[in-house]
Amino acid sequence: MDVRTICLGILTRGDATGYEIKKLVEDGGYQHFAEASFGSIYPALNGMTETGLVSVRAEAQEKRPDRKVYSITPQGRSALIATLLKPLAEDRHRSPFMFAIQFADLLPKERITQMLDAYIAHIEEEMRQLRQSKTAPKTTGESFVRDFGVTMYAAMLDYLRTHRARIETPEAQAAE
């Protein structure tokens, strides 16, 4: 999904600033299937203001840039729904970790162990964050997606812990 659609989606749940949208994408339950940076969010919001998909109201603040709070307009809502009714692009998964493991035979054993430890720790953290994410799921869809994420992370951890020996101690390979 492009950044515009992500912004529209988030705004259906309530008004927000660009800054807040970024935070929601990062750890509001969107982490495991979407991404967006400031450099793409701000221009997206400005563009959509011009085309009437969102509206802004500026809240003055002392000694800080004005908060620009965005709301989705009826047109924005229609545009979002239209996008969601069109054929969806395919999922994309890119894993430098899995790529590296593919070539485990070229790397020292200690590196494999270190990569596994770091990767497992990272997934544990992502899972923890998803479980206790600030924004509690408000719709059925949200809880479905969140639980899906947690389930996948759990399956990943289970596989990695159960099978890591296969690549850490290649000698034991045949014994499985």
Q: Would you state the structure tokens that stand for residue 123, as one six-digit string? A: 């997934």
Kindly state whether residue 60 participates in binding a copy of itself, applying the rule CB under 8 A.
no
Kindly state whether residue 80 participates in binding a copy of itself, applying the rule CB under 8 A.
yes
Tell which one of 39, 89, 132, 175 touches a copy of itself (CB under 8 A).
Answer: 89
Q: Which stretch binds a copy of itself (CB under 8 A): 26-34, 39-47, 53-61, 63-71?
A: 26-34
For CA atoms 169, 173, 175, 176, the dihedral sign is positive
Distances from the Cα of 89 to the Cα of 1, 8, 45, 86, 146, angstroms: 8, 17, 22, 9, 20
Task: Considering the complex, state which of residue 19 and residue 164 has its C-beta at the smaller distance from DNA.
Answer: 19
Tell which one of 12, 14, 37, 148 touches DNA (CB under 7 A).
Answer: 37
Q: How far is Cα 141 from Cα 58, in angstroms, rounded to an integer?
A: 31
Q: How far is Cα 130 from Cα 122, in angstroms, rounded to an integer?
A: 12
3-state secondary structure of 171: helix
Task: Considering the complex, state which of residue 40 and residue 113 has its C-beta at the smaller distance from DNA.
Answer: 40
Task: Considering the complex, state which of residue 49 and residue 113 has its C-beta at the smaller distance from DNA.
Answer: 49
Phi, psi (rounded to 5 degrees) for 67: -75, 130
Can you give the binding site for a copy of itself, defined by CB under 8 A?
A: 1, 5-6, 9, 12, 29-30, 32-35, 77, 80-81, 84-85, 88-107, 111, 115, 122, 139-145, 147-148, 151-152, 155-156, 159-160, 163, 166-167, 170, 173
